[in-house]
Amino acid sequence: MEIEEQSIEEDMNSKKLHEGPLYNWKSVTDEFVNACGTLELGELLHDSSFGLFEAMSAIEMMDVKMDAGMMCNQIKREVRNLQQSVELGTVKVKDLSHEELIGIMDASLACVVTWLEGHSLAQTVFTNLYLHDPSLIDDRCLKAFSICLLKIVDLIRDRINRAGVFEEEDFQPLTYGFRMACDVTDLRAVGMLKEVEDDLNRSVRHVKGLIQSGAGTDSEKEYERLVAVSVRVKFYKLFLSMLLALCKDRCEGVPQAKKLIGQMLEVIQPMKSSITLGIQTEEREVTKTDYPTIMGFEPLINQRLLPPTFPRYTMIMSRDLSIDYIDTLLRRLDLTTTVLDGASVQDVFDVLKEFSKLSPCVLTRSILQLTFLPPSRRVFGQHILTDFLKDSVRAFVLPPALSPKTPLYNNAEVKQYVDALMTRAVRPICSVLKICGHNRARQRDKWAHLLDEMASLQDEADKVDGYLHQVQMKADPNRPFGSSFGTWVLYYTLQVMIGYTLSGFELELYAPYEYHYIYWYLYELLYAWLFSTIQRADSFVSDHEAYIESVSNKGRGNKKSKKKKRSKALQRESNIVHAQQNMFGGYYKAVIGLQLANKLKHPNFEYDREEVRYTHRFAPFACVSSPPMVTYSQFKDLTNLSRYNPTPSAIDLFTTSCKYFLQAKTLYESIPNPSEEIQKVIKIAKTNFVMMKLLSGGHKQDFEAPADFDFSLHKLFPIIKV
Amino acid sequence: MPSESSVDQKGKELLRSWLNKSMKIQMTDGRTLIGIFLCTDRDRNVILGSCEEYLKPPDTSEKREEPRILGLAMIPGHHIVSINIDEDRDIQQNIM
């Protein structure tokens, strides 16, 4: 009884001390142990509402992988927050030396970069104690820097969140309730840095004067350090201003941002060469969770903010590498500004596709997406989406319904139909563009998923085409209305299907014994359709332009130059597509030849069925009606070699393959100003051409080593090695 | 045999009476966990629901520390140092 009274008294006391649930604890350790002993082996004692299934999802305490809290206790040293550290004097908030400032700024940048690579904010940027409360800092430079860095982090987070093209492996959006210096305006933050920069520059000039008047090496060293600090302050000032410029909703800040990026790139080199001037980490034991840091950084400060099970091992990037990373990031950001030159969906799609091939980081991807479509949902912050789509359709197929000077254009009902179709197209077309912004590995699934929507859009477009055809026939029976809208949608459907199929190579999903049907599908179906779609679109445009010219006064209007420009871009694309088709044709014939020559390993699994693999690979295409899905039996029929008379031998196939590669090479070489990628592919086509030539001449005929496909030069086009 | 099984029954009854009550477990590394007792077995592995983790025993430290929310947690029997159960206050008042 006494004990109980005491415990109640304690309860009362604790009630005064702190709020929260009050317990009436009673030690039952021994009873519990004894009672557990009475259970059978494997018997679980639980309530009816709790079962083995629920038990499985519990995290296991004291397990290295599951129990994050375990780590805190294994660290011998004490983890202190900013306030405590300042009181103890372990972290300085005033009179920091230049070495310290350089070190802190560089280490912070390394943290930001690590965060951008997908780590949690708590384990990266906020291991910097200064950022927890910049108001405690007296040093002007450090204070301005800390506030500015918080702003930068907040802006980056905002951009990435708004663009919505990240996955959990790209980016951790959680902020854990850290304050991002909201009490200081953006303008003030930039101003603070500017003031500090001016002061530093004054000191730089002063010291320079001292050196010129013959001061010792000490001054020279001081000069170096002063310059290093001032360059960094300038860099962060530019970084913040650049992000602010990019955040403008009407994209009017992009040219300014481009200028700022150029200025930032200029200070990268001086920053990199002065990294060694900053304070470096002290010697301390490196463990899986704890690593040595410089003053002001505490890797474990936020350990308790993390969810119970969390990857606890965050490797902060080295300062050197993080500067290189920023350098690449800036160059890519510079590239993203080119999207503004795009006049149609087609142009934007090309820019996004090319950009994605660089496997850019999540920030650049997000900014590119937002430059194209800011939160206002207007293209480049200015054009209405449906208008932009109409312009794109006009540029691609020039349908009479969208072209002034035709009877259809002024028909109210026609306009209604076309408008409805464009409104309907906004979502799928925007999805096509948005998927290009996701990371490469995620795109495959998203392409597959989108095909459903593309198929129903195709349906609508075909219906509108049908209706317009009827209207046109009534108005002018001599001029049929082509399937303009259908062709336009088909182009994107095919792009999506090709994107899906090709991503399998990049992700290394296909085994060499699968190549024959993949190459066949690409060569015989997807690229063949794409090529003819582009041709058809081109003929629509030229037909219609000829018609308009014949209607309006002849000889007037110098639109020829404009037309030429258009057809140049189109010619380039159609050449590339044709060349790609020939490449895949070459690979297809080569693979079949290698199979016949026993130079390709075929698996010999039990229960192996090619049909299952084939169906699985092309399953997403089933929902698309044009182009129709080729089933496995159809594929088998179409590719049966006995259809030919005489049945081709391996040598024949190598000869055909040889021709295809040659044709591809010729087509690629006809493209003016070839990009680096095209030059690479020309080289690959040439190498493969030579290989096939050799094989068709009987080279290594008796040699039964399996052929090798070397993707090291290009992700899609391998070099065949025998 | 029958006497043993009645002991067994008593043990199980006791454990059963503790189900869904608050439990405080101290672990070998000094941390304290407080949560709802949900499940146990012969090796006295315990599963606590809505579990909170304290670095120091919450009653002894002068300043109440912010607990960390763990959710559903399983504590292996050999890491358990002591177990406390939250006694029903009403019953206790009756006793008094």
Per-residue confidence in pLDDT tens, chain B, 96 aa: 445 577 788 888 999 999 999 999 999 888 899 999 999 999 999 999 999 988 777 766 556 667 788 889 999 999 999 999 988 765 444 444
For residues A330 and A268, is the Cβ–Cβ distance under 8 A? yes
Q: Could you report how far apart the first and last alpha carbons of chain B are, in Å? A: 38
Taking only the tens place, the pLDDT of each residue in A98-130 is: 999 999 999 999 999 999 999 999 989 999 999
Say what angle helices A345-356 and A362-372 make with each other, to 10 degrees: 180
Task: Using an 8 Å CB-CB cutoff, list chain A residues near B35.
Answer: none
Q: Do B44 and A33 touch (CB under 8 A)?
A: yes
Among residues B53, B40, B5, the alpha carbon closest in space to that of A305 is found at B53
pLDDT at A609: 87
Task: Give the Cβ contact number of residue A217 at 10 Å.
Answer: 8
Taking only the tens place, the pLDDT of each residue in B56-75 is: 777 665 566 677 888 899 99
Domain coordinates of chain A in residue numbers?
A: 82-331, 344-506, 510-722
- Calculate the CA A495 to chain-centre distance: 18
pLDDT score of A227 more than 80 = yes
Task: Using an 8 Å CB-CB cutoff, list chain A residues near B29.
Answer: 62, 70, 73
Taking only the tens place, the pLDDT of each residue in A22-48 is: 788 889 999 999 999 888 888 888 988
Strand partners, A25: B86
- Calculate the CA A543 to chain-centre distance: 40
pTM listed for this prediction: 0.82
CB of A40 within 8 Å of a chain B CB? The answer is: yes
CA quadruple A109, A113, A116, A118: dihedral sign: negative
In terms of Cβ atoms closer than 10 Å to its own Cβ (0-12, 13-18, 19+), residue A256 is middle
pLDDT at B93: 46
B74: nearest CB among A32, A50, A61: A61
Assigned token pair, A687: 């190498």
CB of A4 within 8 Å of a chain B CB? The answer is: yes
Q: For tokens 């054009």, what's the residue?
A: A383
Chain A stretch 417-446, residues whose beta carbon is closer than 8 A to a beta carbon of chain B: none
- Tell me the nearest-neighbour CA distance from A171 into chain B, angstroms: 23
pLDDT at B92: 47
Q: How far apart are CA A320 and CA A338, in angstroms?
A: 29
Span A342-369, mean pLDDT? 93
Secondary structure (H, E, C), A469-537: HHHHHHHCCCCCCCCHHHHHHHHHHHHHHHHHHHHHHHCCCCCHHHHHHHHHHHHHHHHHHHHHHHHHH
Span A353-365, mean pLDDT? 93
For residues A711 and A705, is the Cβ–Cβ distance under 8 A? no
